[in-house]
């Protein structure tokens, strides 16, 4: 089964930034699917986090981008799904490290808290940065073990 393209979704507070990020992706020729919302009318962020995080968790998509007011709500909702590692960066450096060290597969951004130009740069860095592997793999494995419950 072929993976779906990069998935994007936002709530009402992230709608404007999501639209701007779509333009960046189009300019760079990066295929994506917009899973909503389609306006600034109030909606509930967990509904949109579910669409992206569910697909990533099931292996139907490799990566996703979620946008809400702060990025925090989307990340909290997304990180409830197995195999999802949603990051809320505050700089290009933290976006890079979230991929390089943590293999983040969802980028959560704040439409009300980030300068749009910075959000674009963070997305670009995040997309361009590969996972370093090595010592970081065992750390990810430990996070996966935590999902299985308390160790004996």
Residues marked as catalytic: 68, 101
* Rounded distance between C-alpha atoms, residue 37 and residue 143, angstroms: 31
Cβ atoms of 63 and 7 closer than 8 Å: yes
Using CA atoms, how far residue 6 sits from 17, 32, 141, 144, 151, in Å, is 16, 4, 24, 23, 35
Decide: helix, strand or coil at residue 41. Answer: coil
Q: How far apart are the first and last CA of the chain?
A: 37
Six-digit token string for 62? 């490799």
Report the run of H or E that residue 94 belongs to, with start and end.
helix 92-100
């Amino acid at each position: 089964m072929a993976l779906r393209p990069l998935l994007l979704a936002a709530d009402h507070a992230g709608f404007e930034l999501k639209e701007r990020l779509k333009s960046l992706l189009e300019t760079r020729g990066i295929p994506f699917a917009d899973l909503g919302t389609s306006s600034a009318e109030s909606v509930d962020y967990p509904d949109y986090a579910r669409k992206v995080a569910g697909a990533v968790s099931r292996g139907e998509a490799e990566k996703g981008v979620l946008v809400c007011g702060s990025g925090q709500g989307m990340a909290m909702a997304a990180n409830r799904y197995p195999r999802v590692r949603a990051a809320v960066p505050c700089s290009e450096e933290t976006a890079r490290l979230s991929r390089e060290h943590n293999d983040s597969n969802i980028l959560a951004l704040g439409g009300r808290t980030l300068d749009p130009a910075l959000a674009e740069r963070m997305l670009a860095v995040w997309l361009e940065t590969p996972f370093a592997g090595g010592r970081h793999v065992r750390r990810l494995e430990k996070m996966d073990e935590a999902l299985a419950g308390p160790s004996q």
